[in-house]
Each structure stands twice: as C-alpha cells, then as structure tokens.
Structure 1
Amino acid sequence: MPYLKLRDGAELFYKDWGNPNGQIVTFSHGWPLSSDNWENQMVFLAEQGYRVIAHDRRGHGRSTQTWQGNNMEKFVDDLEELFEHLKVKDAMMVGHSHGGGEVTRYLGKHGTHRFKKAVLVGAVPPLMLKTTANAEGTEKSVFDTFRQAMHNDRAQFFLDVPSGPFFGFNRPGAKKSEGQIRSWWQQGMNTGFKAAYDSIKDFSETDFTADLKSINIPVLVLHGDDDQVVPIEAAGLKSAKLLSQGKLKVYPGGSHAIHNINIDEVNKDLLEFLRS
C-alpha cells in the first residue's frame, strides 16, 4: 500500500487508482473516517477513465496516529506535500464534511494552480459554530457532548452516529443499512482517539469564510436539505453565495451522507461537472 513520509516523519496513506494518464480527481474524507468512505465515487470515476486519488488524513485510517498537528493548517500542508509528490495538476478536488473544509482551506491557503474545479459535499464551511455573527450555527454545547461521549464510550458513540443522524437512518421509513453502519464504525475506530477528539474542535470552530471568498475556480456545492449533522442553512446555502463561481444543488430529503446514500445521483453530478 502506498505511503508518503511527510516532512515531520508522519506517514500518509493514499490510494491512487484508475488511468495513470487520466485527468485527476482528489477526494478528502469526513470525520472520523478514511478514504474508504469515497470508494463508490472513486471506482465509478476510475471506470470512466479518470485517475482518482484519496488519502487518509493524518491520525485517521492507515496514516500515522499523530499526537500533535491534528488541525486544518497541518492537514492542508500535508495535502500540498502529497500533491507535489504525485504531480497533481489540472485536477478537480472533492471533499465531504470535514474534508470539504480541508478542500476549502487548501484552496484558500495554497491557491488553485493545481485545480480547475472543486466540489463540496455536505461540507462544514463557512462555519459550523454558532456565534453572534453566525446565528444559524450549532451551539458549542453540542460539540462538547461529542467530546464527552468520546471519553465515556467512544465505541458506542461511533455506533450511535451512523445508526442515526449521519445517514438519516433515524428518519421514519428510512431503509437502514447495517453494512453502512459497520463500515462507518470500523473507519472511526481505526482513527486515533487523539486525532478524532482534536478534530471536533477543528471542524466545528474553523472559520472558512475568507477562504471561500478567495477561491477563483468553479465550485459545485452538493447538500441534502435534511442534513442533521451540517444543516444546509448554516453551510451549503451560505457557501454557494460566498463563492465567486459557486453552483448549488440541493438534494431533497438528502442526509449528511448523500454520497453514500444517493450514490448514482452524486456520481452523475460529479461526472457532469467534470465534463462541463
């Protein structure tokens, strides 16, 4: 399995699938998951002739379980090292949830010279936390309960999240997938406790407003209007307005995990945006 040894000695696991000469699409996963969460999109686009690249964020999945540096600034610097190593150019960047924040901050900090387009899926920007200037955000007490739940019983907490709000399996009439729940739990438990814990503050309190305003390439924003984790009113609707070339598509009844639940529709939207 491919690993890149980063400047600080940590090792970053990544997947590099498909046509080695094809146009590149990169994927950034959400909390507390790994690149495995994108496998349906990666296989689909690889079969269409694209080269697809996804990494396990430091502390997550098969990457080094780092004690320090579990924050957005380090995450995007890791990405720049990976993209330099793999010679990424003329690509499209895709990110879900916390990974959507990673995409946004990467483009804001390192620029768009490697990328022609980007896609945000149920992404956390511009800011999840409720503040006086962000009344639509989520109270800090909610994220404090996440931290406490991790201390109390991380394994049970990481079972409760996918069994309920993440996939929308708590909604009346929802078709529950035990496989999706187990996959989420496995990915979450493979992530280091410290990285998962630190990332709660990172995804909830990082303000991406300035990054969104600075991005000068087309960005497709995909968001479910029944997202119980990252409500569309606080995220997708605002991001699309802040982006200079933002395009919003709302998934009616869509959960936080539209790429896992509405697989065919998301794949179609990604392919059409790539080809546009």
Structure 2
Amino acid sequence: MTKPGSSTIATKDGTEIFYKDWGAGQPIVFHHGWPLSSDDWDAQMLFFLSKGYRVIAHDRRGHGRSTQTDTGNEMDTYAADVAELAAHLDLKNAIHVGHSTGGGEVARYVAKYGAGGRVAKAVLIGAVPPIMLKTAANPGGLPIEVFDGFRSAQAANRAQFFRDVPA
C-alpha cells in the first residue's frame, strides 16, 4: 500500500511535478484540463479510493504546484512527464482518465509509452487533440487569436477567466 499524501518528482529537465498518490489496488491516474490542477479531481479520487483503487493525480508542468515552466508546454513533454511519474511510482495496469488537455495528454502518453503493461485502459473526456492550433498541417484547428484572447483574459483578470472558462 502506498503512503497517502502528496509529493514531487524531478523530471529529466529538472521540472518538479507535484502529485497525489492515495490508496492501494489498481491505479487510476487522473489528468486535469487546462488551466486546472490535480485538485479538480478530488471528488472522483475520493470516490474511487473508497472503492479500493489507488488514485493518482498530478499537476501538469506550468500548472498548480508544479514548476511554472516556459518550455515543454506541449503534448510530447507532457506525455514524457507522465511516463517519468508512472515509472517513479512503478504503475502497472493503470487506468488513465483525462479531461480536455489532460485527454490529449493521455492519448499521447498511451501512444508513446503505453506498451509494457503500464496501461490497462484510457478514458478521454472532452479531450483536446494533441494540437489545437490552426496551421497548414492542421487546418481544422483554432486560430491563434483564440489563444491570444485566453492569454489576454488571464493577464487582465485571472479569477474572472476561471469563472468564464466553463461557460
């Protein structure tokens, strides 16, 4: 049984990734959406903990209690961070649940690192694709102006931005 609580790991590039690790049993790893944190999964974690699962959630780099990085804020690095966390915790037969950006993170993690018995299932909830930006290679993506608007709204009034996101 793992010791209930939270901790951090340092990734290969020195980024500190905060995580919660509660309980014993088959692991369920929760991946949060942008711009949230692992705390947004607490209700689900407590539910599955009461059903005998080991529950894990992390704050993605740049979010919550993890290092606020200016590099590596893309799906390949997010997936690599999860791979390091899964190896550190020696997760086997894990169920990965991802919402929004966390769903894209799960998809990339499973595709790149899912072999070898670490992954049992993946659950994608309102998942974003690994790339959301409209480019020549991704004509169905969102224009950069959408992301610029997000950045401006956060800089102007972060609390209001968080209120407006679910709307």
TM-score by structure 2 length? 0.84
Distance 1:117 1:89 in 2: 11
- Aligned partner of residue 2 in structure 1, secondary structure: strand
Structure 1 residue 38 corresponds to structure 2 residue 41? yes
Match of 2:127 in 1: 123
Which one is further off, 118-127 or 96-105?
Answer: 118-127
Cα distance, 1:127 vs structure 2: 5.2
Distance 2:81 2:131 in 1: 22
Distance 1:129 1:146 in 2: 13
1:44-55 alignment to 2 at 5 Å? 44-55=47-58
Match of 1:154 in 2: 158
Higher helix share: 1
Cα distance, 1:117 vs structure 2: 0.9
Match of 1:25 in 2: 28
Q: Deviations over 1:140-192 (max 9, x none)?
A: 43233212223333333233324xx1xxxxxxxxxxxxxxxxxxxxxxxxxxx
Higher strand share: 2
Distance 2:157 2:120 in 1: 43
Cα distance, 1:44 vs structure 2: 0.8
- Aligned partner of residue 95 in structure 1, secondary structure: strand
Equivalent position to 2:9, from 4, 24, 30? 4
CA contact (8 A) 2:75 2:130 kept: no
CA contact (8 A) 2:23 2:52 kept: yes
Q: Deviations over 1:192-242 (max 9, x none)?
A: xxxxxxxxxxxxxxxxxxxxxxxxxxxxxxxxxxxxxxxxxxxxxxxxxxx
- Aligned partner of residue 34 in structure 2, secondary structure: coil
- Aligned partner of residue 63 in structure 2, secondary structure: coil
Match of 1:103 in 2: 106
Q: Deviations over 1:75-114 (max 9, x none)?
A: 1111111110110111111100000000001111223331
Letter in 2 for 1:158: F
1:155-234 alignment to 2 at 5 Å? 155-162=159-166, 165=167
Distance 2:42 2:126 in 1: 17
Match of 1:233 in 2: none
Cα distance, 1:56 vs structure 2: 0.6
- Aligned partner of residue 43 in structure 2, secondary structure: helix
The RMSD of aligned alpha carbons is 2.2
Measured at CA, do residues 66 and 124 of structure 1 come closer, stay the same or move farther in structure 2, by a change above 3 Å? same
Distance 2:13 2:90 in 1: 20
Distance 1:14 1:93 in 2: 14
Distance 1:121 1:102 in 2: 12
Match of 1:181 in 2: none
Distance 2:148 2:10 in 1: 33
TM-score by structure 1 length? 0.53
Higher relative contact order (CA closer than 8 Å, sequence separation 6+): 1
Letter in 1 for 2:147: F
Distance 1:71 1:137 in 2: 15
Letter in 2 for 1:63: S
